[in-house]
């Protein structure tokens, strides 16, 4: 079936004018997901019965005049978000057979907006990874070249959107897990301000960093998703009570007078030449559109990676202690006593990367090391946040590469965790500070792999950020390029 559009906004408009029904659209999406699964492994669970029931309900709502912009549009959720009655695994052995008893807040919000859930996407185990190679259910492959990773941890969501299976999908971003796979997969990925989207029902990795967000083909589609997802939730103590706003309101605004900050720390050694050239070209395009550039400094950003890999594992060590084989999750088949059951269940249920981070986190929280590592990391975290606030006094948005390289081949960094961790060097500061950030396509390497531009704004400036991203997408077509195996390049 030829679809009238592959974007969220385009499909919503097609449904509104009666060009197709939600049931027809959902059947096509399920067929595409099934056909692509052997090559991409983007999904852990597909829910055809549930999706078609939701599609029929959406069609009935539309016929009764109760439709909104997202009514009847199929989406997917990252498998770290609880979905009532549907398996929620975190791509782990520990939760391989766990069925969620309730919906996460953002899942419920999108359900109330009328979206149709077609399935749960593959990810790095417990959201720990930058390549989607740590999943218990096998790696996700990049639609642009299946020999390459799609990025992580939200690699399944990124691949599903990049391959035009679904127009949008949720993700979570703890150290770049939306923006980095968006960059490596050639789509848009938005990490909102921390606290804007509730974490209720998100199976926690690092509670002070985890941020629900979304993937889509365009900044406009991200704005439509955020309109549904954002909002105060009293069940999450970190959810911020703010008036609702329309995140599409600055789409199409002229960029004349926009000040773009260029941190010297984002443009130094260590960035691939193809990436640097594409980002420079995107910034030159912004200048043509009327923006000005300002040289800024973020001196403490160079400490982001070591700070993150103290704080995030510490919080993970605490959060993952609940998986003990007693209440839910994997339990070892044979054990001598309660302590032996804990040990064997956790040893069998967790993969190598998760174990590594639990061990690091337990160490930095232990007696004699808490002050030396964890407390010091929190103090440096404040210095990084202060740097961003000084920068935003000089500019409206900050621009730079999303990742230092394009996608890399499977296994290229598996034996060197530090090299893998450095792939998030430009995104981690956004989580440590809580500021919003978006990755948008801005070019390709000579080998045909996509490159992402990261834009960051001050707290709660998502509408401005999306407007700036939209401006570049109106002047370029990088976001409209489709992997050869999944559509026609244009």
How many other CB atoms are there within 10 angstroms of residue 272's CB atom?
15
* Cα(344)–Cα(348) distance, integer angstroms: 6
What pLDDT is stored for residue 487 in this prediction?
78
pTM: 0.97
Average pLDDT of the segment spanning 94-115: 98
Residue 265 in any domain: the answer is: no
Q: Which candidate in 131, 153, 185, 345 is catalytic?
A: 153
Residue 321 in any domain: the answer is: no
What pLDDT is stored for residue 459 in this prediction?
98
pLDDT digits (tens, 9 = 90+) for 158-183: 999 999 999 999 999 999 999 999 99
Q: In what order do the strands lie in the sheet with 168-173?
A: 43-46, 116-121, 74-78, 168-173, 211-216, 188-191, 437-444, 450-457, 397-401, 259-263, 292-296
User: What's the pLDDT band for 263 if we cut at 50, 70, 90?
Assistant: very high
3 state SS of 168: strand
What pLDDT is stored for residue 490 in this prediction?
29
304 pLDDT higher than 50: yes
- Dig out the tokens for 463 from the structure: 């509408």
Active site residue 414: no
Q: Which residue has the higher pLDDT, 2 or 26?
A: 26
* Cα(332)–Cα(161) distance, integer angstroms: 37
Average pLDDT of the segment spanning 227-241: 97
pLDDT digits (tens, 9 = 90+) for 322-349: 999 998 899 999 999 999 999 999 999 9
Mean pLDDT check: name the lowest of 140-154, 241-255, 404-418: 404-418
Residue 283 in any domain: the answer is: no
Q: Please name the residue that has the structure tokens 């045909």.
A: 448
488 pLDDT higher than 70: no
C-alpha dihedral, 461 to 468 to 452 to 226, nearest 10°: 50
Average pLDDT of the segment spanning 465-488: 94
Q: How many C-alpha atoms does 68 have within 13 Å on its Cβ side?
A: 13
Q: Which candidate in 131, 154, 177, 405 is catalytic?
A: 177
Average per-residue pLDDT for the chain: 96
What pLDDT is stored for residue 64 in this prediction?
97
User: What's the pLDDT band for 268 if we cut at 50, 70, 90?
Assistant: confident
Residue 78 in any domain: the answer is: yes
Residue 472 in any domain: the answer is: yes
Q: Mind giving me the DSSP string for 93-158?
A: STTTT-B-SS--HHHHHHHHTT-EEEEEE--SGGG--SSS---TT----BTTBTTB---SSSHHHH
Beta strands in 246-366 (DSSP E): 259-263, 292-296
Residue 108 in any domain: the answer is: yes
* Cα(430)–Cα(434) distance, integer angstroms: 6
Active site residue 153: yes
Average pLDDT of the segment spanning 298-316: 96
How many other CB atoms are there within 10 angstroms of residue 445's CB atom?
18
Contacts of 163 (CB under 8 A, 6+ apart): 32, 36, 40, 42, 143, 483, 485, 486
Closest CA to 212 of 152, 169, 172: 172
Q: How many domains does the chain have?
A: 1
Residue 211 maps to which CATH number?
A: 3.90.1300.10
Question: CA 149: distance to chain centroid?
Answer: 15
Residue 336 in any domain: the answer is: no
* Cα(253)–Cα(235) distance, integer angstroms: 36
3 state SS of 399: strand
Domain containing 74 equals 8-259+405-486
Q: Which candidate in 22, 78, 183, 191 is catalytic?
A: 78
User: What's the pLDDT band for 489 if we cut at 50, 70, 90?
Assistant: very low
* Cα(455)–Cα(468) distance, integer angstroms: 8
Per the CB < 8 A criterion, the answer to whether 490 and 480 are in contact is yes
Q: How many C-alpha atoms does 248 have within 13 Å on its Cβ side?
A: 10
Q: Which residue has the higher pLDDT, 71 or 368?
A: 71
Residue 362 in any domain: the answer is: no
User: What's the pLDDT band for 1 if we cut at 50, 70, 90?
Assistant: confident
63 pLDDT higher than 80: yes
* Cα(398)–Cα(23) distance, integer angstroms: 42
């Amino acid at each position: 079936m030829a679809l009238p559009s592959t974007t969220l906004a385009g499909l919503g408009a097609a449904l509104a004018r009666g060009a197709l029904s939600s049931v027809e659209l959902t059947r096509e999406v399920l067929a595409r997901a099934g056909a692509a699964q052997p090559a991409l492994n983007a999904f852990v669970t597909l829910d055809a019965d549930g999706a078609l029931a939701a599609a029929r309900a959406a069609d009935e709502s539309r016929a009764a005049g109760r439709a909104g912009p997202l009514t009847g549009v199929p989406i997917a959720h990252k498998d770290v978000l609880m979905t009532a009655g549907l398996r929620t695994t975190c791509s782990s052995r520990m939760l391989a057979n766990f069925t969620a008893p309730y919906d996460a807040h953002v899942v419920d919000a999108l359900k109330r907006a009328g979206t149709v859930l077609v399935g749960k996407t593959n990810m790095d185990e417990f959201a720990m990874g930058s390549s989607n190679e740590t999943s218990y259910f096998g790696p996700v492959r990049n639609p642009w070249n299946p020999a390459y990773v799609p990025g992580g941890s939200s690699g399944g969501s990124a691949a599903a959107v990049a391959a035009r299976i679904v127009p949008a999908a949720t993700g979570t971003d703890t150290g770049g897990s939306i923006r980095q796979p968006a960059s490596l997969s050639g789509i848009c990925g938005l990490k909102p301000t921390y606290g804007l989207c509730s974490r209720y029902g998100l199976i926690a990795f690092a509670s002070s960093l985890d941020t629900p967000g979304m993937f889509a083909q365009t900044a406009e589609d991200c704005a439509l998703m955020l309109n549904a997802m954002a909002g105060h939730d009293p069940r999450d103590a970190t959810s911020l009570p703010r008036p609702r706003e329309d995140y599409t309101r600055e789409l199409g605004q002229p960029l004349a007078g926009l000040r773009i900050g260029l941190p010297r720390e984002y443009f130094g050694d260590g960035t691939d030449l193809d990436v640097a050239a594409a980002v420079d070209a995107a910034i030159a395009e912004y200048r043509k559109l009327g923006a000005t550039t300002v040289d800024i400094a973020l001196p403490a950003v160079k400490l982001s990676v070591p700070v993150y890999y103290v704080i995030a594992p510490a919080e993970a060590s605490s959060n993952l202690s609940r998986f003990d084989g007693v209440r839910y999750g994997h339990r070892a088949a044979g054990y001598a006593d309660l302590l032996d059951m804990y040990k064997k269940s956790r040893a069998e249920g967790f993969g190598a990367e998760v174990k590594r981070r639990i061990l690091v986190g337990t160490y930095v929280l232990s007696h004699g090391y808490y002050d030396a590592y964890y407390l010091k990391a929190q103090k440096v975290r404040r210095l990084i946040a202060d740097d961003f606030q000084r920068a935003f006094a000089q500019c409206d948005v900050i621009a730079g590469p999303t990742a230092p390289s394009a996608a890399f081949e499977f296994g290229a960094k598996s034996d060197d965790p530090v090299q893998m961790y450095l792939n998030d060097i430009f995104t981690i500061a956004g989580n440590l500070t809580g500021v919003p950030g978006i990755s948008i396509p801005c070019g390709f390497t000579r080998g045909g792999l996509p490159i992402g531009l990261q834009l960051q704004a001050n707290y709660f400036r998502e509408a401005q950020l999306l407007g700036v991203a939209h401006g570049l997408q109106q002047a370029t077509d990088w976001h409209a390029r489709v992997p050869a195996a999944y559509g026609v390049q244009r």
